[in-house]
Amino acid sequence: MSLCLVIACMVTSWIFLHRWGQRNKSGPKTWPLVGAAIEQLTNFDRMHDWLVEYLYNSRTVVVPMPFTTYTYIADPINVEYVLKTNFSNYPKGETYHSYMEVLLGDGIFNSDGELWRKQRKTASFEFASKNLRDFSTVVFKEYSLKLFNILSQASFKDQQVDMQELLMRMTLDSICKVGFGVEIGTLAPELPENHFAKAFDTANIIVTLRFIDPLWKLKKFLNIGSEALLGKSIKVVNDFTYSVIRRRKAELLEAQKSPTNNNKVKHDILSRFIEISDDPDSKETEKSLRDIVLNFVIAGRDTTATTLTWAIYMIMMNENVAEKLYSELQELEKESAEATNTSLHQYDTEDFSSFNERVTQFAGLLNYDSLGKLHYLHAVITETLRLYPAVPQDPKGVLEDDMLPNGTKVKAGGMVTYVPYSMGRMEYNWGSDAASFKPERWLKDGVFQNASPFKFTAFQAGPRICLGKDSAYLQMKMAMAILCRFYKFHLVPNHPVKYRMMTILSMAHGLKIRSTAPVSRRNLHTVTGDHLSVMEDVKGKEIIDEAPIDNKVSDEMESEENAIKKKYGGLLPKKIPLISKDHERAFFDSADWALGKQKGQKPKGPLEALRPKLQPTPHQQPRARRMAYSSGDTEDSETDNNESPDDQACASAVDNTNLKDDGVSDGCYSSTYWYYTMLSVRRMFREHIIRRGRWYIRRLYSWFFNLLMQSYWEEMEDRKVKVYDKLSEKAEKVLEIGIGTGPNMRYYAARNSNVTLYGLDPNPKMKKYARKSATKAGLKTKNFRFKLGVGEAIPLKDNSVDAVVATLVLCSVSDVTQTLKEIKRVLRPKGVFIFLEHVAAKDGSFFKRLQKLLDPLQQRLADGCHLTRNTRECILEAGFSGGVEVETYSMYSFPWITRPHIYGLAYN
């Protein structure tokens, strides 16, 4: 016993001294053994902005990790030293190669030495070829017009589209045609499902996670978790890639037999690599060609499509930029038509045929030389790349111990990462307006001027500078010219815009837009509806930039916005949270209810320390966690006496693009936030938790849990969209179990504002907030009915609703079987039960054993949530006569212990 006490004291002293030694340290705080892994992991989904915060005050940040040390740099002097001056000491390195090998193999982006030089030499020769340039121009124009036709169809039907998805299809088709000489047709009018792109993106995410996951090699060895999914994704990727290679080799062989076809098949890059290979049919050659193909895919598809997506978003957010770009395109059209004696067709924006004829005519005027005259468009794209570089950070290995020009020492075996995302936002690189979107910074007397490649690093610099830079600009300018000349874009209201943590800076939820022909350019590219874009200055203060509704902004709002901008200067885009101010107030009022505050009494207790300083972490809390809130208090049963039976349920159809609330989070990562959090927790423990422990856990669990689960809710968002999209538009009455403050109202109101919705929740204080959310989402007040109760005893009549929705509820109810019986009872014949739940892992698996071990603790700390509940079997055995459709999938965000999930439909 005494020995254990001595060891405990020694360990505690060690940790204390370690932490004490960092009290004045500017970089991330570290812990013994794990380094800064904890802080990096908790900030993984916002890592780029996390680095901005540190690099703003220190141009170099050292981040120790369990098995290596990362040194992040944003000073052009250090960047030039790494990328050029001492290039040989900073290769990709074995560490980076091991992370990315499963996806990129030994391709040009993941190789060093002679192998890299050989690939670069061949690719350099091809990119310098005029034949490839002319061929690329024709292909880029062809697929830009195909994209435009799809937008035209959507515009004439007033439909929204995911612009990022369409651009990914366009660039994939283009790179396959230019790079590999094959037509794959993903941009066909019917938009066929693209299994390769989905698998490629999944693999990209998982290999990125390897950089902070110290157990990935163990998971790979055991073939479990994310590494198991990675293996399945890579199989899909390889099947597609090898099919492209074999198809191209067959076409080359056919061309050799028929000399008349020879000219048709030799413009692409893959053909060149096949021709110079010693044995094209060997497995080693096919593997090498596979690596080359995938490296060119990530270069030609992902980077270009991502940049175009962010460029369109920034144009929508900056009306003055849109006006100037439109004027430049009009002027080019006029000059080109006069130079070629072309008579421009008149067109009617309401006539699909004449409109597209004029677009095709304009595209015919575009070529390599004419696109070179679009200096402002070039500046718009470059400014987008400055703030949203396609590759936000690029790590390099360290071969030998070295010292950077600013005096930072780096050790052999470590990693040095230059960070284009941060470099573009640093005032010491770009001046006081560094965070502003300002294409004019690239122009001098109307002519584009380049910046140092060690300052603007979107295309790398030094010996590894991007070979496809000119080709990328050519495609982006071609697409932007055709799209922005004839269309203005509107962001779908409440659509969340934030990046996804991948090697490429893509948008996590795509870019949902509507496009309209420009009847008037005065209001071009403005956002309709209440869209909130959360920005923060480099010192961590958040600002809300709210787009006007129909361009009408009161003088008071304008003056307030100007005052904010004057006070904070540059703005930095930050991830957009999914929680509103109403939900914040709901949290505090619900907590006051838990504390016993009643009928106008002043709030008391430690929450008052929190109220003025912070609000809950972004993303809605799961409604299931509030299912156990009910007590003997039957205040306000919420059953209106004058309601008819037919008014006691509801249904809806959901547009799968309105994904977020319109709220913001205020200072979630500041030191003030943590100071008040810890102060309040201490007071709460002293004053209340000892006395009312379980009472508090039930009411405050969701808020504290959300501090750790932000990435979980973001990953869950896409699944929830699919769940709500299953609701039939014919459904008239829907019941949602665990409605809470109504964070899901936006799903119901998106398609049908006349839907009648019943929300069941055991917390009576949720009523006013749920009603407010319903009104804000566009639901009519008379069509929303709040019901006080639990799933085991639903206060509705038999056969009274068309659909029941439950997301993350059945894991926490006291009796799953009884809840399912109640759901069947209230459902009408042919009604549907739509569910999304986390479930127990497979019997005998490691995860199942771990879940059993942690389940008792989970139930006590997580408000009754069960880790080992076999919800899938319960639903299958519940007796839904119409059958059950269920899909199993895995979630890889924290908490990993709840990884297995299901969603589906059960028909009554």
Contacts of 122 (CB under 8 A, 6+ apart): 272, 273, 276
Three-state secondary structure string covering 85-113: HCHHHCCCHHHHHHHHHHHHCCCCCCCCH
Tokens 């000489």 locate to 181
Q: Which of 548, 543, 547, 546 is nearest to 565 (CA)?
A: 543
Complete DSSP assignment for 786-816 = EEE-BTTB--S-TT-EEEEEEES-TTTSS-H
* Bridge-based pairing state of the strands 447-448 and 488-491: unpaired
**Inter-residue contact 771 to 834 (CB < 8 Å):** no
Single-letter code of the amino acid located at 510: G
176 is in an annotated binding site: no
Dihedral (CA of 441, 445, 448, 452) sign: negative
**Inter-residue contact 829 to 801 (CB < 8 Å):** no
Contacts of 642 (CB under 8 A, 6+ apart): none
Q: Which of 398, 372, 383, 390 is nearest to 298 (CA)?
A: 390
**Inter-residue contact 481 to 464 (CB < 8 Å):** no
Distances, alpha carbon 141 to alpha carbons 309, 359, 525, 801, in Å: 18, 11, 23, 52
Tokens matching residue 692: 């009312």
User: What's the rounded Cα separation, in Å, for the pair 585 and 591?
Assistant: 10
User: What's the rounded Cα separation, in Å, for the pair 872 and 816?
Assistant: 11
**Inter-residue contact 609 to 679 (CB < 8 Å):** yes
For 753, the 3-state DSSP assignment is coil
- 289, burial (CB in 10 Å: exposed 0-12, middle 13-18, buried 19+): buried
Q: Is the peptide bond before 895 cis (omega within 30 degrees of 0)?
A: yes
Three-state secondary structure string covering 207-227: HHHCCCCCCHHHHHHHCCHHH
**Inter-residue contact 146 to 174 (CB < 8 Å):** no
Distances, alpha carbon 774 to alpha carbons 442, 723, 752, 781, 784, in Å: 46, 19, 12, 7, 7
Q: Which of 672, 708, 692, 687 is nearest to 607 (CA)?
A: 687
User: What's the rounded Cα separation, in Å, for the pair 79 and 85?
Assistant: 9
Read off the DSSP letter of residue 83: I
User: What's the rounded Cα separation, in Å, for the pair 906 and 234?
Assistant: 33
Find the Cα–Cα–Cα–Cα dihedral 757, 509, 70, 572, rounded to 10°: -90
Beta-carbon count within 10 A of 403 CB: 10
Beta-ladder partners of 786: 759
Three-state secondary structure string covering 7-58: HHHHHHHHHHHHHHCCCCCCCCCCECCCECHHHHHHCHHHHHHHHHHHHHHC
Describe the strand order of the beta sheet including 827-838 as a list of residue ranges: 784-788, 756-761, 733-737, 801-807, 827-838, 900-907, 883-890
Distances, alpha carbon 748 to alpha carbons 581, 759, 784, 827, in Å: 20, 12, 11, 18
User: What's the rounded Cα separation, in Å, for the pair 102 and 199?
Assistant: 13
- Binding residues for heme, as ranges, are 466
- Binding residues, as ranges, are 466
